Amino acid sequence: MSESSKDTVHAAADMYDRPLRSLRLSVTDRCNLRCRYCMPEADYVWLPREDILSFEEMATLTGYFADLGVDKVRLTGGEPLLRRDLSRLVRLLLHDRRIIEMGLTTNGILLADQAQELYDAGLHRVTVSLDTLRPERFRRLTGRDEFSRVIGGIESVGKVGFANLKLDTVAIRGFNDDELIALIEFAKHYQAEVRFIEYMDVWGANEWAMDKVLSRAMILDQLSQQYGSITPLPERGAAPAQRFLLPGGTIFGIIPSTTTPFCAQCDRSRVTADGMWYLCLYATSGTDLRNPLRTGASPEQMREMIQSSWAARRDRGAEERKVLELVGLRDSGLIGIDRLREDPHLEMHARGG
């Protein structure tokens, strides 16, 4: 248990009374895919290697967050499984008993090799991103011929004992809107739950356009034509996915971040692999936690920095994007590639989705 965890927990709340509970920890900005909606460019500016936090530094930081109320951690990236010996980080973080939910979001390519050790380390949940069941389409979307390894990764999850596998699909009009039913049936086969994510205009997604967004309404419309009436399930606090029940008992989710943002409930923040802390997916500036950590700030000083930043948080990024849309400016709100090169933290693959 971290030194800080011996102190009393003071749950932090922001300007809209949203608690600090869920932390997305990006362990690397590197990736072995080049998904067109996330990393469409040929070339990226990577975070300097010497700035990347060690596992011990990540565990220390997570301890300070836990002091202030964080109890859910998700490991992400970039592709988190590219970070060597990730199961060691899982063990380190789970030493802190206040972390009651530890998840991983991965593209699945390296999962078959690592699923067993991650399970043995105590990881609770796995989410695999899967946008298509067609190998050729996968190659066009990601620039790599890795479809069969992703499927192998998905198969390995259940075999080693994980329950509650989630499959996250970015739903894009004119790209994979003809695969919703196939994806639901595929997920059923693996006792998984598919979640359709509305295509988001995050900074790096410079191919985004509103007419490529397959909205929650369109998804529900298409699925109800196939399956009949769809029943919404009760909301689960700050969870971003709205869940639905199909007549045969299958459950699926929709994350309607673009058309129906859920900022009002948002309890999540993000730490990049080099220790920058962002209060919102759309935030253009963050707090450098690495420098104070490495130059000997005390636990009290670290907690004070985190607590005061969270207390001043007013971020509602997706809702603000929605307002831009209402005045016809959403498409012009994207950051250009030059700005992204100047600050790689703005990329989705740096802050972990």
Helices (H) and strands (E) in the chain, counts: 12, 12
Phi then psi for 142, rounded to 5 degrees?
-105, -15
Does position 196 bind ligand SAM by CB under 6 A? no
309 to 348: interface string for ligand SAM, x by CB under 6 A: ---------------------------------------x
Q: How far is the C-alpha of 147 from the C-alpha of 130, rounded, in Å?
A: 9
Which of 62, 105, 176, 307: binder of ligand SAM (CB under 6 A)? 105
Q: Which does 125 bind (CB under 5 to 8 A by kind): ligand SAM, ligand SF4, none?
A: none
Distance in Å, CB of 135 to ligand SAM, minimum:
17
Q: How far is the C-alpha of 71 from the C-alpha of 23, rounded, in Å?
A: 8
The CA-CA-CA angle for residues 35, 38, 39, to 5°, reads: 70
Q: Which does 199 bind (CB under 5 to 8 A by kind): ligand SAM, ligand SF4, none?
A: ligand SAM
Q: 């935030």: which residue's tokens?
A: 283
Does position 114 bind ligand SAM by CB under 6 A? no
Number of residues that bind ligand SF4 (CB under 6 A): 24
Does position 39 bind ligand SF4 by CB under 6 A? yes
Which of 129, 132, 242, 287: binder of ligand SAM (CB under 6 A)? 129
Does position 197 bind ligand SAM by CB under 6 A? yes
Distance in Å, CB of 185 to ligand SAM, minimum:
20
Q: How far is the C-alpha of 28 from the C-alpha of 50, rounded, in Å?
A: 12
Q: Residue 314: is it exposed, middle or buried by C-beta count within 10 angstroms (0-12/13-18/19+)? A: exposed
Does position 170 bind ligand SAM by CB under 6 A? yes
Is residue 74 left, alpha or beta, with left meaning phi > 0 and alpha meaning psi from -120 to 50? Answer: beta
Which of 2, 28, 106, 142: binder of ligand SAM (CB under 6 A)? 106
Q: How far is the C-alpha of 167 from the C-alpha of 138, rounded, in Å?
A: 15
Which of 25, 35, 192, 254: binder of ligand SF4 (CB under 6 A)? 35
Does position 31 bind ligand SF4 by CB under 6 A? yes
Closest to 285 (Cα-Cα) out of 252, 267, 255, 309: 309
CA neighbours closer than 13 Å in the CB half-sphere of residue 292: 18
Local structure of 326: helix, strand or coil:
helix
Local structure of 276: helix, strand or coil:
strand
- In the chain, % helix, strand, coil (3-state, to 5) comes to 40, 15, 45
Ranges within 44-83 binding ligand SF4 (CB under 6 A): 77-79
Three-class DSSP labels, 315-328: CCHHHHHHHHHHCC
Does position 281 bind ligand SF4 by CB under 6 A? yes
Which of 90, 115, 266, 350: binder of ligand SF4 (CB under 6 A)? 266
Token pair listed for 2: 């971290």
Q: Which does 20 bind (CB under 5 to 8 A by kind): ligand SAM, ligand SF4, none?
A: none
Does position 280 bind ligand SAM by CB under 6 A? no
Residues making contact with ligand SAM (CB under 6 A): 31, 37-38, 76-77, 79, 105-107, 129, 168, 170, 197, 199-200, 202, 205, 348-349, 352-353
Which residues form the interface with ligand SF4 (CB under 6 A)?
Answer: 31, 33-35, 38-39, 77-79, 107, 129, 261-263, 266, 268, 280-282, 315-318, 349
